[in-house]
A and B are shown apart, each in its own frame.
Chain A
Amino acid sequence: MSPAAAVDPDLAGASTDPPGPSPDLAAAVVRFAGLLRHLGVPVSTAEVLDALAALPGVDILDRAQFRAALAATLVKGTSALATFNAAFQAFFADPAERRQRLQEQRARADAEMHREKTGREAAERDLTFQGRPLDLTAAQKDAYSAMDAPDRARLRDFLERSSTGVKVDATLMPLVQNIVRGHLDRQRRLLQEELEGTRKAVALPLAPTGDPEYDALIASVADRLRDSPEQTLLTLDIGRIPESEQVHAQRLVRQLARRLATRISRRYRRTRRRKHIDLRRTARGSIRYGGAPFRLAYRWRAVRRPRMLLICDVSGSMARYSRFVLEFAYGLARVVSGIESFVFSEDLERVTPFFQQRRDFAETMGDVVRSSVQWGRGTNLSAALRTFMVRHRGVLTPHTVVVIVSDTKTLAAADAAAQLRAIRGHVREVLWLCTLPRAQWDETPTVAMFARWSLMHECNTLGHLDRIMRRHLQPATAAARG
């Protein structure tokens, strides 16, 4: 083609603007942007205005063009594309589908209300002391109704035994009431954790908005996103990944580590940014020009690869989390110089030599678990860090990033925090990958104790792990000559 022949006379193309979108369409786009925000996609007013300005340029009756115009203006990253696509399909569905979705949502809400009502009535009927109902909150009654039948029977049996007897009178009621309340609160927390773990699209804030149509849309988008296996594994609590999905999860960890390694390896090149003149080299170079500083020499920033030191809790349920962190970290081996790894439960063990043989990770982990005396025991971080400071203090350098994987629950936490403070003074950063959900941090005092001397991150999913590593594995720089 001759390019000149194709030149459009109006290169900017905005001279004959068609009229803007109709008020109904504009309202729909604004509402759609609101849905995206509710689903966690940041959409600003400026972007909504862009979308409205874009629509007159495309054929809005052509679904592909309409979708592409909204995607180009409202979405600003690949991470939000899956949510956008699911939201678009749900929001701009045909009327029949929308009506059906609304009906289903209403039916679900009615069923939920009915279940809640009957559950609370059962709690009021069953949980009594000498015929008087206990004073329980609605949440405690809900926890009772959600319990298994044998557990409910046990609780009724306890109340029955506590309220009968020769010396039992009404004065005992507050004591019994407190015991029952405590039990129900614990059940509620367990149920909440269970829900968090099994709810696959945990990245979505699924709290109801009160608008039935909106809630139906959100539920529909969540259903669509659940179909993505990678999304599911990224957002599922590592401790709850089923055995059948373990192989997929390990593969995903390797992919994530590989992607991150490829990205950050570029940043370890020596930077060419020119900031400070190197006077000595400039003066030396100027001799050939009769003393005139004709060519300026600059100092370069040398970029050093970070050193990583892993200290992983392998007591009981923590072992599973630590395994994934170790696999991720060794996937980064080619961009992180020298990974030192330790596992601990009651004391510390160095496991670096196992990983230096460059064998298959699964085999290596098998050897580590078989030979370790720490695997699956109780937790004493204080003893572990003391051992570390006595035997391995030499591996700490100002370029080291220390990564600790633990739920912070340990014996002698105050002493462990003091040890951590000592380590913090020798290294570039201490990252604490805390496997406890953030919602439980306030009620776990050890979290605050360790957070004083480390950067504490919630890390109980592969998505968390990827984000944290990506954020913190930036190269350290130091002035050097080049």
Chain B
Amino acid sequence: MSQHDRTHHAKIATGKGDPQCFIGTAGPAKFKVGDRVRIKNLPDIFYTRCQVYSRGAVGEVAVVTHESPAPEDEAWGHVDHSEWFYIVRFKQKDLWPEYPDDFPNDTLQTEFSERWLESV
């Protein structure tokens, strides 16, 4: 029998919400709105929420959203270490080389924890 406390998350989030229950746990944010960032291509053997289509692409931080454990840790119940999260905006053409030139303004936004980003 597992001794893992499956109600742990409900206990810390009730009355506060998640990600609010992690406010103040990640320290200073490394990036700010407008920063140019490249998405790292880290190994993700077990679990990730970082889509492969964004790996290696360069975008711009659009929103600094909140602090939370990264999903790669949280999936395994490891919630002791939090990171800042960022919504990053990409030009569609930078994600999909075949994206039609007729629509150069089209963009896509998606979110990353800090470990996935490096300065450009």
Q: Do A and B bind each other?
A: no
